[in-house]
Amino acid sequence: MSQPIGGLAIETSSRIGSVALAQDGRVLAQETFEHGLQHAARMVPAIDELCRRLDWNSGKLRQIYVSAGPGSFTGLRIGITLAKTLAFVTGAKLVAVPTVRVLVENAPPEARHVIIVIDAKRDQIFTASFERDPDGWTQREPAHLDSLAAMLARAARPVHLIGQGIPFHRKFIEEPDTEVLLVDESLWQPRAEIVAQLGWEMAVRGQFIDPLKLSPIYIRRPEAEEKLGLTNP
C-alpha cells in the first residue's frame, strides 16, 4: 500500500489569507490571517504551527497547492513566491489552482449558473462564468477582465454572484432582479481547504507545474506598472 501524501494549500488571493494541511486531499488543519503584509508575516508561522500540531516534518510534505489568481497582485506574489520556495527546499510537487475555480465551489447546492466577481477597479472585474452539470462545474467563460454589466447581459438565469468585488459593482445589478442572486457574504472568500481539495484532484490527474514556470494569473498588469508604461507583467 502506498504511503499517504501530505499536502500544503496556500490561499492569498484576497483580503483574508489561509493555509491548510491535507492528507490525500482530506484537510486535517487550517489557519487564516488578515490581508496585506500580514500575508507575509503570518504565513510561515501559521504553517509551522500547523505542522507542529500534526507532528509533521518537511519530509511529510510531498505536494503544495497554491491559489494562482486572479486576485490581489501583492497577495498572489507573496503566496506563489512562498509556494515556489517551499517546493525547491522540500522537493514537493507543485500544483497551481485557478482562484475562480476555488470560488465557484462556494456556490450553494441550488446554484446552476455562477459569475465570479473580483474587483479590478475602474468599473471592471476579474471574472469567469460556470455552469453546474451532473458531473460538476463546467467553465463557460475562462478568467478574464470584463464588466459585471456585460457578464450579466449574456448570463443564463437564474445566476448566482460570488466574490468580494460584489459591493463595488452593485450599481450594475438592475433593481429589482429576482434572477440575479448574491451568494451569502460569508462565502465570498476563497479558502485554503478548497485549494487543497482541488489541488489534490489536479495532482491525481498529474497536473503539476515546474516551479520555474509558475507565475500568478494576473490577467492585467498591476496599476503601478501600467502607470509606468511597462510592457511586461
The percent of residues in the chain predicted with pLDDT above 90, rounded, is 82
Residue 125 falls within a domain, yes or no?
A: yes
Q: What is the pLDDT of residues 184-213, one digit of tens each?
A: 999 999 999 999 999 999 999 999 999 999
148: its cell numbers: 459585471
The answer to whether residues 220 and 181 belong to one domain is no
- Note down the domain range covering 121: 107-187
Per-residue pLDDT tens digits for 57-111: 878 999 999 999 999 999 999 999 999 999 999 999 999 999 999 999 999 999 9
User: What are φ and ψ of residue 32, in 5° steps?
Assistant: -120, 160
pTM for this predicted structure: 0.92
pLDDT band at 226 (very low <50, low <70, confident <90, very high): low
Give the CA diameter of the chain.
58
Q: Which pLDDT tens digit goes with each residue over 18-61? A: 999 999 999 999 999 876 555 677 788 899 999 999 999 878 99
- Could you tell me the CATH number of the domain that includes residue 203? 3.30.420.40
Q: How many domains does the chain have?
A: 2
Q: Note whether 92 and 194 are same-domain residues.
A: yes
- How far apart CA 141 and CA 188 sit, in angstroms, is 19
Task: Using only the alpha carbons of the chain, give its radius of gyration.
Answer: 18
Q: Is the residue at 1 inside a domain?
A: no
C-alpha cell belonging to residue 219: 490577467
Same domain, 95 and 208: yes
pLDDT tens sequence across 162-174: 999 999 999 999 8
